[in-house]
Structure 1
Amino acid sequence: MVRQPSINAQHRAPLSIERIIEAALQIVDGQGLGRLTMRRLGDALEVEAMAIYHHLPRGKEQLLDGLVAHVASAPADASADASGGGRWQDALRAWAGGYRGRLLTHAGVLPLVVTRRNPAALTTTVASLREVLRLGGVAEDTAAVAAHTLLGYVIGHAALEVRGTAEDGADRTVDWDARFTAGLDVVLAGVR
Protein backbone atom coordinates (compact mmCIF):
# COMPACT_ATOMS: atom_id res chain seq x y z
CA MET A 1 0.00 0.00 0.00
CA VAL A 2 1.43 3.36 -1.04
CA ARG A 3 0.76 6.15 1.41
CA GLN A 4 -0.94 9.14 -0.17
CA PRO A 5 0.45 12.47 1.01
CA SER A 6 -1.94 14.26 3.29
CA ILE A 7 -3.26 17.70 2.48
CA ASN A 8 -1.22 19.02 5.39
CA ALA A 9 1.99 17.36 4.15
CA GLN A 10 3.19 20.53 2.45
CA HIS A 11 2.69 22.47 5.71
CA ARG A 12 4.50 19.92 7.86
CA ALA A 13 8.10 20.46 8.96
CA PRO A 14 10.59 18.35 7.01
CA LEU A 15 11.59 15.07 8.55
CA SER A 16 14.56 15.49 10.89
CA ILE A 17 16.14 13.59 13.75
CA GLU A 18 14.63 16.09 16.19
CA ARG A 19 11.14 15.63 14.77
CA ILE A 20 11.53 11.85 14.83
CA ILE A 21 12.69 11.87 18.46
CA GLU A 22 9.83 14.17 19.50
CA ALA A 23 7.25 11.92 17.80
CA ALA A 24 8.81 8.82 19.39
CA LEU A 25 8.73 10.53 22.77
CA GLN A 26 5.02 11.29 22.33
CA ILE A 27 4.36 7.62 21.58
CA VAL A 28 6.36 6.44 24.60
CA ASP A 29 4.77 9.05 26.90
CA GLY A 30 1.25 8.25 25.70
CA GLN A 31 1.33 4.52 25.01
CA GLY A 32 4.48 3.15 26.65
CA LEU A 33 7.85 1.99 25.40
CA GLY A 34 6.50 -1.39 24.30
CA ARG A 35 4.22 0.31 21.75
CA LEU A 36 7.07 2.15 20.01
CA THR A 37 7.60 0.56 16.60
CA MET A 38 9.08 2.05 13.46
CA ARG A 39 5.75 1.51 11.69
CA ARG A 40 3.78 3.31 14.44
CA LEU A 41 6.38 6.08 14.41
CA GLY A 42 6.06 6.39 10.62
CA ASP A 43 2.29 6.63 10.99
CA ALA A 44 2.66 9.38 13.60
CA LEU A 45 5.01 11.29 11.29
CA GLU A 46 2.84 10.56 8.23
CA VAL A 47 5.78 8.98 6.39
CA GLU A 48 6.75 5.47 5.38
CA ALA A 49 8.69 3.79 8.18
CA MET A 50 11.63 3.35 5.80
CA ALA A 51 11.98 7.15 5.51
CA ILE A 52 13.02 7.20 9.17
CA TYR A 53 16.05 5.06 8.36
CA HIS A 54 17.41 7.85 6.17
CA HIS A 55 17.90 9.88 9.37
CA LEU A 56 18.54 6.95 11.71
CA PRO A 57 20.55 4.37 9.72
CA ARG A 58 20.93 2.10 12.78
CA GLY A 59 17.15 2.03 13.11
CA LYS A 60 15.49 1.41 16.43
CA GLU A 61 18.80 1.14 18.33
CA GLN A 62 19.71 4.66 17.25
CA LEU A 63 16.18 5.82 18.01
CA LEU A 64 16.37 4.47 21.58
CA ASP A 65 19.79 6.10 22.06
CA GLY A 66 18.26 9.35 20.81
CA LEU A 67 15.43 9.11 23.33
CA VAL A 68 17.93 8.63 26.15
CA ALA A 69 20.02 11.55 24.93
CA HIS A 70 16.93 13.76 24.67
CA VAL A 71 15.64 12.97 28.15
CA ALA A 72 18.85 12.30 30.09
CA SER A 73 21.11 15.04 28.77
CA ALA A 74 20.35 17.87 31.14
CA PRO A 75 23.50 19.78 32.05
CA ALA A 76 23.64 21.82 35.21
CA ASP A 77 24.20 25.54 34.76
CA ALA A 78 27.76 26.17 35.90
CA SER A 79 27.28 29.93 35.48
CA ALA A 80 24.66 29.77 38.26
CA ASP A 81 27.55 29.31 40.68
CA ALA A 82 29.97 31.83 39.24
CA SER A 83 29.96 33.72 42.54
CA GLY A 84 31.01 30.69 44.61
CA GLY A 85 30.37 31.15 48.31
CA GLY A 86 28.32 28.00 48.82
CA ARG A 87 25.70 28.67 46.19
CA TRP A 88 26.74 25.55 44.31
CA GLN A 89 24.23 23.73 46.51
CA ASP A 90 21.42 25.94 45.17
CA ALA A 91 22.54 25.35 41.58
CA LEU A 92 22.60 21.59 42.15
CA ARG A 93 19.23 21.61 43.94
CA ALA A 94 17.70 23.44 40.97
CA TRP A 95 19.29 20.99 38.53
CA ALA A 96 18.20 17.94 40.57
CA GLY A 97 14.59 19.12 40.82
CA GLY A 98 14.44 19.87 37.11
CA TYR A 99 16.10 16.59 36.15
CA ARG A 100 13.75 14.61 38.37
CA GLY A 101 10.79 16.39 36.79
CA ARG A 102 12.08 15.59 33.31
CA LEU A 103 12.53 11.90 34.18
CA LEU A 104 9.05 11.71 35.72
CA THR A 105 7.47 13.50 32.75
CA HIS A 106 9.07 10.96 30.40
CA ALA A 107 8.84 7.96 32.72
CA GLY A 108 8.53 5.58 29.78
CA VAL A 109 12.11 6.42 28.81
CA LEU A 110 13.41 5.90 32.36
CA PRO A 111 14.12 2.16 31.85
CA LEU A 112 16.30 3.11 28.89
CA VAL A 113 18.15 5.72 30.94
CA VAL A 114 18.92 3.03 33.52
CA THR A 115 19.83 0.17 31.19
CA ARG A 116 21.15 1.48 27.86
CA ARG A 117 24.82 1.85 27.27
CA ASN A 118 24.80 5.42 26.04
CA PRO A 119 27.59 7.16 27.90
CA ALA A 120 27.44 10.27 25.72
CA ALA A 121 23.96 11.03 27.03
CA LEU A 122 25.18 11.26 30.61
CA THR A 123 28.78 12.42 30.11
CA THR A 124 27.80 16.02 29.48
CA THR A 125 25.51 16.03 32.49
CA VAL A 126 28.17 14.60 34.81
CA ALA A 127 30.79 17.03 33.47
CA SER A 128 28.48 19.98 34.14
CA LEU A 129 27.77 18.79 37.68
CA ARG A 130 31.51 18.45 38.29
CA GLU A 131 32.05 21.98 36.99
CA VAL A 132 29.42 23.45 39.33
CA LEU A 133 31.09 21.66 42.23
CA ARG A 134 34.58 22.70 41.14
CA LEU A 135 33.53 26.35 40.77
CA GLY A 136 32.03 26.09 44.26
CA GLY A 137 35.44 25.18 45.65
CA VAL A 138 35.02 21.40 45.86
CA ALA A 139 38.21 19.45 45.15
CA GLU A 140 38.29 17.72 41.74
CA ASP A 141 38.35 14.14 43.10
CA THR A 142 35.46 14.86 45.44
CA ALA A 143 33.56 16.66 42.68
CA ALA A 144 33.87 13.61 40.40
CA VAL A 145 32.46 11.27 43.05
CA ALA A 146 29.76 13.74 44.10
CA ALA A 147 28.60 14.30 40.50
CA HIS A 148 28.09 10.57 39.92
CA THR A 149 26.44 10.15 43.31
CA LEU A 150 24.03 13.02 42.66
CA LEU A 151 23.14 11.72 39.20
CA GLY A 152 22.59 8.22 40.60
CA TYR A 153 20.44 9.57 43.42
CA VAL A 154 18.13 11.51 41.10
CA ILE A 155 17.76 8.66 38.59
CA GLY A 156 17.26 6.09 41.36
CA HIS A 157 14.72 8.21 43.20
CA ALA A 158 12.77 8.79 39.99
CA ALA A 159 12.80 5.04 39.29
CA LEU A 160 11.37 4.31 42.75
CA GLU A 161 8.77 7.02 42.30
CA VAL A 162 7.67 5.65 38.94
CA ARG A 163 7.40 2.20 40.46
CA GLY A 164 4.64 3.80 42.49
CA THR A 165 4.94 2.39 45.97
CA ALA A 166 2.23 4.23 47.89
CA GLU A 167 3.55 3.37 51.36
CA ASP A 168 7.00 3.55 52.88
CA GLY A 169 6.95 0.24 54.76
CA ALA A 170 5.67 1.84 57.95
CA ASP A 171 2.14 2.10 56.57
CA ARG A 172 2.55 5.80 55.87
CA THR A 173 1.77 7.39 52.56
CA VAL A 174 4.93 8.49 50.80
CA ASP A 175 5.36 12.21 50.19
CA TRP A 176 7.73 11.86 47.23
CA ASP A 177 8.56 15.56 47.07
CA ALA A 178 9.52 15.71 50.74
CA ARG A 179 11.45 12.46 50.50
CA PHE A 180 13.34 13.68 47.43
CA THR A 181 14.27 16.97 49.10
CA ALA A 182 15.38 15.26 52.31
CA GLY A 183 17.51 12.75 50.41
CA LEU A 184 19.02 15.50 48.27
CA ASP A 185 19.94 17.40 51.43
CA VAL A 186 21.72 14.28 52.74
CA VAL A 187 23.65 13.85 49.48
CA LEU A 188 24.70 17.50 49.28
CA ALA A 189 25.61 17.67 52.99
CA GLY A 190 28.10 14.88 52.40
CA VAL A 191 30.05 16.92 49.84
CA ARG A 192 33.03 18.66 51.38
Structure 2
Amino acid sequence: MPDVDELVVAGQERPSDRVPLSRERILASALEFIDEDGLGALTMRRLGARLGVEAMSLYRYVPGREELLDGVVDAMVGELGHDPEVLRRPTHGWQDFLQRLAHGVRRVAIAHPRAFPLVASTPPQAPWLRPPLRSVEWVETFLSGLVADGFSDDQAVAAYRAFTSFLLGNLLLEVSQRGGAVGPLDLVDEEVPPGGLDDAPHVRRLAPRLAEDRALQEFEESLESLIDRISVLVLGTSGA
Protein backbone atom coordinates (compact mmCIF):
# COMPACT_ATOMS: atom_id res chain seq x y z
CA MET A 1 0.00 0.00 0.00
CA PRO A 2 1.51 3.42 -0.97
CA ASP A 3 2.34 5.80 1.83
CA VAL A 4 -0.32 8.49 2.38
CA ASP A 5 2.22 11.29 1.87
CA GLU A 6 3.31 9.69 -1.40
CA LEU A 7 -0.29 9.82 -2.61
CA VAL A 8 -0.52 13.49 -1.74
CA VAL A 9 2.80 14.29 -3.47
CA ALA A 10 1.54 12.46 -6.55
CA GLY A 11 -1.45 14.80 -6.59
CA GLN A 12 -3.99 12.20 -5.49
CA GLU A 13 -6.58 12.71 -2.77
CA ARG A 14 -6.07 11.12 0.60
CA PRO A 15 -8.39 8.12 1.04
CA SER A 16 -10.10 9.91 3.94
CA ASP A 17 -10.79 12.91 1.66
CA ARG A 18 -12.64 10.74 -0.83
CA VAL A 19 -14.79 8.82 1.69
CA PRO A 20 -15.78 10.38 5.03
CA LEU A 21 -14.50 8.57 8.09
CA SER A 22 -17.18 6.76 10.10
CA ARG A 23 -17.43 4.01 12.69
CA GLU A 24 -18.84 1.63 10.09
CA ARG A 25 -15.97 2.33 7.68
CA ILE A 26 -13.40 1.88 10.44
CA LEU A 27 -14.86 -1.48 11.50
CA ALA A 28 -15.11 -2.72 7.92
CA SER A 29 -11.48 -1.76 7.32
CA ALA A 30 -10.39 -3.42 10.57
CA LEU A 31 -12.16 -6.64 9.56
CA GLU A 32 -10.48 -6.56 6.15
CA PHE A 33 -7.12 -5.95 7.83
CA ILE A 34 -7.55 -8.99 10.10
CA ASP A 35 -8.69 -11.12 7.15
CA GLU A 36 -5.54 -10.20 5.23
CA ASP A 37 -2.84 -9.81 7.88
CA GLY A 38 -4.15 -11.47 11.05
CA LEU A 39 -5.25 -10.12 14.38
CA GLY A 40 -1.74 -9.86 15.79
CA ALA A 41 -0.74 -7.29 13.17
CA LEU A 42 -3.66 -4.96 13.85
CA THR A 43 -2.80 -1.70 15.60
CA MET A 44 -4.59 1.63 15.62
CA ARG A 45 -1.60 3.19 13.83
CA ARG A 46 -1.64 0.62 11.02
CA LEU A 47 -5.40 0.83 10.69
CA GLY A 48 -5.16 4.62 10.50
CA ALA A 49 -2.54 4.33 7.77
CA ARG A 50 -4.82 1.98 5.85
CA LEU A 51 -7.60 4.56 6.05
CA GLY A 52 -5.29 7.46 5.27
CA VAL A 53 -5.60 9.19 8.64
CA GLU A 54 -3.64 9.54 11.86
CA ALA A 55 -4.39 6.94 14.52
CA MET A 56 -5.73 9.65 16.82
CA SER A 57 -8.53 10.33 14.33
CA LEU A 58 -9.91 6.83 14.97
CA TYR A 59 -10.43 7.40 18.69
CA ARG A 60 -13.36 9.69 18.00
CA TYR A 61 -15.26 6.66 16.72
CA VAL A 62 -13.65 3.79 18.67
CA PRO A 63 -12.14 4.74 22.08
CA GLY A 64 -9.51 1.99 21.98
CA ARG A 65 -8.44 -1.36 20.59
CA GLU A 66 -10.80 -3.36 22.82
CA GLU A 67 -13.77 -1.34 21.60
CA LEU A 68 -12.48 -1.78 18.06
CA LEU A 69 -12.45 -5.57 18.40
CA ASP A 70 -15.92 -5.53 19.98
CA GLY A 71 -17.10 -3.60 16.95
CA VAL A 72 -15.46 -6.07 14.57
CA VAL A 73 -17.38 -8.90 16.26
CA ASP A 74 -20.62 -6.94 15.94
CA ALA A 75 -19.86 -6.33 12.26
CA MET A 76 -19.29 -10.04 11.63
CA VAL A 77 -22.46 -11.11 13.45
CA GLY A 78 -24.31 -8.34 11.63
CA GLU A 79 -23.50 -10.00 8.30
CA LEU A 80 -26.14 -12.59 9.12
CA GLY A 81 -28.77 -9.93 8.50
CA HIS A 82 -27.63 -9.63 4.87
CA ASP A 83 -27.63 -13.37 4.19
CA PRO A 84 -30.67 -14.15 2.01
CA GLU A 85 -30.67 -17.79 3.15
CA VAL A 86 -31.07 -16.89 6.84
CA LEU A 87 -34.67 -16.43 7.98
CA ARG A 88 -35.95 -14.15 10.73
CA ARG A 89 -38.75 -16.54 11.66
CA PRO A 90 -39.42 -20.26 11.09
CA THR A 91 -41.69 -19.98 8.06
CA HIS A 92 -40.92 -23.59 7.08
CA GLY A 93 -40.65 -25.12 10.55
CA TRP A 94 -38.08 -24.73 13.30
CA GLN A 95 -35.77 -27.40 11.87
CA ASP A 96 -35.36 -25.44 8.61
CA PHE A 97 -35.02 -22.23 10.64
CA LEU A 98 -32.11 -23.61 12.70
CA GLN A 99 -30.39 -25.23 9.72
CA ARG A 100 -30.44 -21.98 7.76
CA LEU A 101 -29.15 -20.00 10.74
CA ALA A 102 -26.38 -22.51 11.42
CA HIS A 103 -25.17 -22.46 7.82
CA GLY A 104 -25.35 -18.66 7.84
CA VAL A 105 -23.05 -18.49 10.85
CA ARG A 106 -20.72 -20.98 9.17
CA ARG A 107 -20.56 -18.81 6.06
CA VAL A 108 -19.52 -15.87 8.26
CA ALA A 109 -16.83 -18.01 9.90
CA ILE A 110 -15.44 -19.22 6.57
CA ALA A 111 -15.47 -15.69 5.16
CA HIS A 112 -13.46 -14.43 8.16
CA PRO A 113 -11.48 -17.37 9.59
CA ARG A 114 -8.79 -15.15 11.12
CA ALA A 115 -11.31 -12.85 12.79
CA PHE A 116 -14.01 -15.35 13.76
CA PRO A 117 -12.26 -16.55 16.97
CA LEU A 118 -12.93 -13.06 18.36
CA VAL A 119 -16.55 -14.09 18.91
CA ALA A 120 -15.31 -16.36 21.70
CA SER A 121 -12.44 -14.25 23.08
CA THR A 122 -14.04 -10.81 23.40
CA PRO A 123 -16.47 -10.27 26.31
CA PRO A 124 -20.16 -10.25 25.29
CA GLN A 125 -22.54 -7.45 26.26
CA ALA A 126 -24.09 -9.73 28.89
CA PRO A 127 -22.90 -13.04 30.39
CA TRP A 128 -25.95 -14.88 29.07
CA LEU A 129 -25.17 -13.92 25.46
CA ARG A 130 -23.32 -16.98 24.26
CA PRO A 131 -21.03 -16.96 21.21
CA PRO A 132 -21.39 -17.10 18.31
CA LEU A 133 -25.00 -15.81 18.59
CA ARG A 134 -23.91 -13.06 20.96
CA SER A 135 -26.03 -10.09 19.89
CA VAL A 136 -29.34 -9.29 21.57
CA GLU A 137 -30.93 -9.01 18.14
CA TRP A 138 -30.03 -12.54 17.06
CA VAL A 139 -30.75 -14.15 20.42
CA GLU A 140 -34.19 -12.51 20.30
CA THR A 141 -34.65 -13.80 16.75
CA PHE A 142 -33.67 -17.31 17.83
CA LEU A 143 -35.85 -17.45 20.96
CA SER A 144 -38.90 -15.73 19.48
CA GLY A 145 -38.75 -17.98 16.43
CA LEU A 146 -38.78 -21.17 18.47
CA VAL A 147 -41.45 -19.95 20.88
CA ALA A 148 -43.63 -18.96 17.91
CA ASP A 149 -43.21 -22.50 16.58
CA GLY A 150 -44.45 -24.11 19.80
CA PHE A 151 -41.39 -24.29 22.08
CA SER A 152 -41.89 -23.54 25.75
CA ASP A 153 -39.58 -20.96 27.34
CA ASP A 154 -37.48 -23.71 28.93
CA GLN A 155 -37.25 -25.63 25.66
CA ALA A 156 -36.22 -22.53 23.71
CA VAL A 157 -33.46 -21.69 26.22
CA ALA A 158 -32.21 -25.30 26.23
CA ALA A 159 -32.14 -25.27 22.43
CA TYR A 160 -30.23 -21.98 22.43
CA ARG A 161 -27.58 -23.39 24.75
CA ALA A 162 -27.18 -26.59 22.73
CA PHE A 163 -27.19 -24.75 19.40
CA THR A 164 -24.54 -22.20 20.39
CA SER A 165 -22.29 -24.85 21.96
CA PHE A 166 -22.51 -26.93 18.77
CA LEU A 167 -21.74 -23.97 16.51
CA LEU A 168 -18.86 -22.62 18.53
CA GLY A 169 -17.09 -25.96 18.94
CA ASN A 170 -17.43 -26.98 15.31
CA LEU A 171 -16.60 -23.62 13.79
CA LEU A 172 -13.60 -22.82 15.97
CA LEU A 173 -12.12 -26.15 14.94
CA GLU A 174 -12.85 -25.47 11.28
CA VAL A 175 -11.42 -21.94 11.23
CA SER A 176 -8.29 -23.18 12.98
CA GLN A 177 -7.71 -25.29 9.87
CA ARG A 178 -8.16 -22.15 7.76
CA GLY A 179 -5.64 -19.97 9.56
CA GLY A 180 -7.67 -18.76 12.52
CA ALA A 181 -5.73 -18.30 15.76
CA VAL A 182 -7.72 -20.11 18.43
CA GLY A 183 -5.12 -20.79 21.11
CA PRO A 184 -4.74 -24.47 21.97
CA LEU A 185 -6.64 -25.46 18.82
CA ASP A 186 -4.00 -23.92 16.56
CA LEU A 187 -2.62 -26.46 14.11
CA VAL A 188 1.06 -27.00 13.43
CA ASP A 189 2.08 -25.98 9.94
CA GLU A 190 4.39 -28.97 9.46
CA GLU A 191 2.88 -31.83 7.48
CA VAL A 192 4.65 -34.43 9.63
CA PRO A 193 5.37 -34.13 13.37
CA PRO A 194 9.06 -33.59 14.29
CA GLY A 195 9.35 -37.16 15.57
CA GLY A 196 8.15 -38.66 12.33
CA LEU A 197 5.65 -41.48 11.93
CA ASP A 198 7.92 -44.49 12.20
CA ASP A 199 6.23 -45.58 15.43
CA ALA A 200 2.73 -44.84 14.16
CA PRO A 201 2.12 -47.11 11.13
CA HIS A 202 -1.66 -46.67 11.23
CA VAL A 203 -1.35 -42.90 11.27
CA ARG A 204 1.16 -43.05 8.39
CA ARG A 205 -1.08 -45.36 6.34
CA LEU A 206 -4.25 -43.35 6.97
CA ALA A 207 -2.66 -39.88 6.78
CA PRO A 208 -4.18 -39.07 3.36
CA ARG A 209 -7.65 -39.89 4.68
CA LEU A 210 -7.04 -37.96 7.89
CA ALA A 211 -6.08 -34.93 5.80
CA GLU A 212 -9.26 -34.99 3.69
CA ASP A 213 -11.38 -31.84 3.97
CA ARG A 214 -14.71 -33.16 5.22
CA ALA A 215 -15.62 -30.07 7.24
CA LEU A 216 -18.92 -29.33 5.49
CA GLN A 217 -20.08 -32.96 5.62
CA GLU A 218 -19.16 -33.26 9.29
CA PHE A 219 -20.87 -29.96 10.05
CA GLU A 220 -24.08 -31.08 8.38
CA GLU A 221 -24.01 -34.48 10.09
CA SER A 222 -23.45 -32.87 13.49
CA LEU A 223 -26.20 -30.35 12.80
CA GLU A 224 -28.62 -33.16 11.93
CA SER A 225 -27.73 -34.89 15.19
CA LEU A 226 -28.36 -31.68 17.09
CA ILE A 227 -31.75 -31.22 15.41
CA ASP A 228 -32.62 -34.79 16.39
CA ARG A 229 -31.63 -34.14 20.02
CA ILE A 230 -33.74 -31.00 20.16
CA SER A 231 -36.65 -32.93 18.66
CA VAL A 232 -36.38 -35.50 21.42
CA LEU A 233 -36.24 -32.70 23.99
CA VAL A 234 -39.40 -31.07 22.64
CA LEU A 235 -41.37 -34.23 22.04
CA GLY A 236 -40.31 -35.78 25.32
CA THR A 237 -41.23 -32.70 27.32
CA SER A 238 -44.58 -32.22 25.58
CA GLY A 239 -45.50 -35.84 26.00
CA ALA A 240 -46.22 -36.22 22.28
Q: TM-score category by the smaller chain?
A: 0.7 to 0.9
Measured against aligned partners, the alpha-carbon deviations of 1:1-60 in whole angstroms (never above 9, x if no partner) come to xx6584233762210000000100111000000011101100110011100001112x11
Q: For the residues of structure 1 that align with 2:164 and 2:13, how far apart are their CA atoms? A: 42
Tell me which of the two structures has the higher relative contact order, counting C-alpha pairs closer than 8 angstroms and 6 or more residues apart.
Answer: 1
Secondary structure (helix, strand or coil) at the match of 1:8 reads coil
Match of 1:163 in 2: 176
Q: Is the 8 A contact 2:99 2:223 kept in 1?
A: yes
Q: For the residues of structure 2 that align with 1:78 and 1:54, how far apart are their CA atoms? A: 34
Q: For the residues of structure 2 that align with 1:151 and 1:13, how far apart are their CA atoms? A: 38
- The yes-or-no answer on 1:185 pairing with 2:191 is no
Rg larger for: 2
Q: Is the 8 A contact 1:68 1:118 kept in 2?
A: no
1:103 pairs with one of 102, 109, 124: 109
- The yes-or-no answer on 1:64 pairing with 2:69 is yes
Q: For the residues of structure 2 that align with 1:31 and 1:157, how far apart are their CA atoms? A: 24
* Residue 134 of structure 1: how far off its partner (Å): 1.2
Q: For the residues of structure 1 that align with 2:123 and 2:17, how far apart are their CA atoms? A: 37
- The yes-or-no answer on 1:154 pairing with 2:193 is no
TM-score, normalised with respect to structure 2: 0.69
Match of 1:37 in 2: 43
Runs of 4+ in 1 over 6 A off after TM superposition: none
Q: Is the 8 A contact 2:146 2:156 kept in 1?
A: yes
Secondary structure (helix, strand or coil) at the match of 1:95 reads helix
Amino acid paired to 2:88: A
TM-score, normalised with respect to structure 1: 0.85
Q: Is the 8 A contact 1:17 1:55 kept in 2?
A: yes
Q: For the residues of structure 1 that align with 2:226 and 2:94, how far apart are their CA atoms? A: 13
Measured against aligned partners, the alpha-carbon deviations of 1:60-99 in whole angstroms (never above 9, x if no partner) come to 11101001111134466333x24x6xx1111211111011
Match of 1:124 in 2: 137
2:57 pairs with one of 48, 51, 54: 51
* Residue 123 of structure 1: how far off its partner (Å): 3.0
- The yes-or-no answer on 1:8 pairing with 2:18 is no
Match of 1:24 in 2: 30
- How many pairs does the alignment contain? 183
Q: Is the 8 A contact 2:26 2:58 kept in 1?
A: yes
Structure 2 unaligned segments of length 5 or more: list them. Answer: 127-133, 178-186, 192-202, 235-240
Secondary structure (helix, strand or coil) at the match of 1:190 reads helix
Match of 1:78 in 2: 88
Amino acid paired to 1:142: Q
Q: What's the % identity of the aligned pairs?
A: 32
Aligned-residue Cα RMSD (Å) equals: 2.4
Name the one with the larger helix percent. 1
* Residue 174 of structure 1: how far off its partner (Å): 4.5
Q: Is the 8 A contact 1:126 1:151 kept in 2?
A: no
